[in-house]
């Protein structure tokens, strides 16, 4: 009986030792796989990240950006990094720009506003008719009071902040008034975000009149650099890894213009009478804010009527 007990004890010891050896072998094998040629391995391309290209020179509306200053360089670099790696947003901006820049650019040109100001639309709304927490609306993000000040009709049936052409004209009037004050397109753009009173306050307080020498609240401080980053990335998308074929860009929607100086009782019926539906009529005319247009003053409005098959890809 005693011998049997000893053999069993020995067997348990052998099993325990064998188990420990097996665990050691597994650890060694796993370690060799994980660290074998790790020093020579390249990281997977889908997690590769690096500082994007920062140009040596850049200007806004013909005004040179002093990139030799560390604070200016780092501020611009920050916004380029954000937009170069915010892929979903930047891809959509590139697609939408092909549809909307052709509507904005000729109005800026006709009003002698530098072409770079089209990037304010990207910074303000990203080509979307969103409403800000403060109530600013449309691509150019006009507040209701400011919109009326610059000639836009705003009521329950019509809100011309959503009329891209009229809102762009109104923005141009603002830009000209600001340029008469500051003689700097960079400060004009900053004033569109911070307001003229905010710009004037900091110029007076700090004794400087160059945007890049002034300190503003964070949103206004970043504003110009965001615009510059949009310009740099959107003008050189391939350089930042955005490869879009022309066919992938959103195409302008073809339409005819219909002048009316009367009311419209039902927009749905009106749309069908003109060969479209309410959804597409509103897409082209987001400034029409109601299902009807009473127009008691018999004003003339221009309504975009989509051409047949405009929805076809």
152 belongs to a structural domain? yes
10-residue mean pLDDT series, the chain (313 residues)? 42 52 50 46 60 94 98 97 95 98 98 98 95 94 97 97 98 98 98 97 98 97 98 96 95 96 96 96 97 96 94 81
Q: Are residues 123 and 230 in the same domain?
A: yes
**Smallest Cα–Cα separation from 127: which of 135, 119, 136?**
119
Chain mean position to CA 30? 46
91 belongs to a structural domain? yes
Q: Are residues 165 and 206 in the same domain?
A: yes
Q: Are residues 158 and 131 in the same domain?
A: yes
Q: Are residues 169 and 260 in the same domain?
A: no
Among the candidates 225, 248, 271, a domain finishes at 248
**Tokens, residue 195:** 């307001």
4 belongs to a structural domain? no
Query: pLDDT value at position 72?
Result: 98
Q: Are residues 133 and 269 in the same domain?
A: no
Q: Are residues 192 and 294 in the same domain?
A: no
Q: Are residues 104 and 208 in the same domain?
A: yes
Q: What number of H helices and E strands is found in the chain? A: 11, 4
233 belongs to a structural domain? yes
Give the integer Cα–Cα distance in Å for 162 and 137: 7
Check if the beta carbon of residue 187 is closer than 8 Å to that of residue 213.
Answer: no
Q: Are residues 238 and 263 in the same domain?
A: no
Query: pLDDT value at position 13?
Result: 52
Those residues whose C-beta lies under 8 Å from the C-beta of residue 285, and which sit 6 or more positions away, are: 163, 303, 304
- Report residue 65: phi and psi, to 5°: -90, 125
Among the candidates 248, 266, 293, a domain finishes at 248
Where residue 223 sits, what CATH number does that domain have? 1.10.530.10
Q: Are residues 138 and 213 in the same domain?
A: yes
Q: Name the residue range of residue 290's domain.
A: 255-306
38 belongs to a structural domain? no
313 belongs to a structural domain? no
153 belongs to a structural domain? yes
Give the other-Cβ count within 10 Å of 237's Cβ: 17
Q: Are residues 103 and 156 in the same domain?
A: yes
Rg (CA), the chain: 31
Give the integer Cα–Cα distance in Å for 178 and 196: 8
Q: Are residues 283 and 221 in the same domain?
A: no
Per-residue 3-state assignment (H helix, E strand, C coil) for 172-195: HHHHHHHHHHHCCHHHHHHHHHHC
**Smallest Cα–Cα separation from 58: which of 309, 231, 218?**
231
The owner of tokens 């099993």 is 15
Query: pLDDT value at position 236?
Result: 95
Q: Are residues 92 and 201 in the same domain?
A: yes
271 belongs to a structural domain? yes
> How many folded domains does the chain comprise?
2
Rounded to the nearest 10 degrees, what angle do helices 87-110 and 70-85 cross at? 110
């Amino acid at each position: 009986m005693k011998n049997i007990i000893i053999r069993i004890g020995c067997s348990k010891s052998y099993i325990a030792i064998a188990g420990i050896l097996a665990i050691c072998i597994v650890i060694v094998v796993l370690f060799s796989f994980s660290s074998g040629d790790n020093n020579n391995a390249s990281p997977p391309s889908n997690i590769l990240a690096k500082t994007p290209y920062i140009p040596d020179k850049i200007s806004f509306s013909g005004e040179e950006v002093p990139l030799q200053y560390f604070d200016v360089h780092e501020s611009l670099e920050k916004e380029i990094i954000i937009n170069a790696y915010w892929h979903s947003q930047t891809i959509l901006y590139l697609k939408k720009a092909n549809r909307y820049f052709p509507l904005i650019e000729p109005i800026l040109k006709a009003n002698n506003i530098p072409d770079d100001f089209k990037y304010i639309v990207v910074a303000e709304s990203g080509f979307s008719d969103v409403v800000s927490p403060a109530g600013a609306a449309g691509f150019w993000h006009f507040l209701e009071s400011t919109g009326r000040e610059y000639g836009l009709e705003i009521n329950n049936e019509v809100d011309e902040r959503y009329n891209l052409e009229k809102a762009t004209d109104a923005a141009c009037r603002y830009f000209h008034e600001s340029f008469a004050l500051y003689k700097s397109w960079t400060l004009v753009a900053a004033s569109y975000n911070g307001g003229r009173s905010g710009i004037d306050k900091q110029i007076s307080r700090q004794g400087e009149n160059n945007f890049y020498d002034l300190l503003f609240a964070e949103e206004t401080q970043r504003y110009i650099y965001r615009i510059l980053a949009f310009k740099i990335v959107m003008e050189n998308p391939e350089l930042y890894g955005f490869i879009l074929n022309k066919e992938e860009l959103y195409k302008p929607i073809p339409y005819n213009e219909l002048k009316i100086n009367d009311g419209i009782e039902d927009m749905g019926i009106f749309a069908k009478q003109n060969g479209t539906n309410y959804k597409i009529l509103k897409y082209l005319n987001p400034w029409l804010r109601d299902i009807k247009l009473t127009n008691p003053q018999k004003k003339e409005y221009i309504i975009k009527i989509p051409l047949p098959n405009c929805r076809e890809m």
